[in-house]
Structure 1
Amino acid sequence: MDSPEIRVGDNERAEALNLLGEHFSHGRLNLSEFEERSAQASSATTRGELEILFTDLPAVTANVPETVQEKDNASGTLDHWREIVMGLTPLLALVLFFVFDTWLWFLLVPAVSIVLYAGRDNDDDKPEKKKKN
């Protein structure tokens, strides 16, 4: 491991500021802590001065974006709005058939599916396919 007395440059300070921003965005730092540590990172001259800013914080790992993504997916069913619209379309067509007494409303089912899914590759919606690419 390198000595903590090694001097740092602008790139190292910018990287430390970015990491502090990530910790702040995940709620690990409150605003005053973030401001204080950011000021210290901006004025740091050695690696030791930067390293001490992160001693009580967990290492940023590759699974942080997945955690954020899982939180976003838990927000509800908005990720599957196309499926919801397609599921409701036949019911709407049935109601309109009885109200207006014409079978042409059932043409909504293929029309809506064309509008919602035309030109889309079904594999793009599957998370396991996204991870492989």
Structure 2
Amino acid sequence: MSELPGARISVGERERALRELAEHLGAGRLTLGDYEDRADTATAATTTAELASLFTDLPAAPAPSAPPPPADPAMGFAIMAGCAAAFAFVLALAFGGWLWLLLLVVLLVSAPLLPTALRRRRAPGRP
């Protein structure tokens, strides 16, 4: 909302106030009757002071939490390599072939190196 208490409000500010009141109703801070009274007042409000008076006895909305860090696709390759290594180990036990164990060694050695190599390849300034 605007800084000045006597400033006129927009439709968007009224709608935001109604959403905040609905959140307080959902959290159990308002009864249905109290919500209806405040919603009617918010709908008829013309200044920021009128809207602010609706929230004097209610806690402020919590600050939005930080967005989660973006997923690193290189880690997905490492996880898939680890799963493939476990699968190769199972195949080696089931069929007794030594080539499956060779695949296991290759996957276990390359899996930790793969995320670093992919990050280096996608580093800024590199083609």
Q: What TM-score range do you get, normalising by the shorter chain?
A: 0.3 to 0.5
Q: Tell me the TM-score normalised to structure 1 length.
A: 0.45
Q: Tell me the TM-score normalised to structure 2 length.
A: 0.47
Tell which structure's C-alpha radius of gyration is larger.
Answer: 2
More helix by share: 1
Q: Which has the higher contact order (CA 8 A, sep 6+)?
A: 2
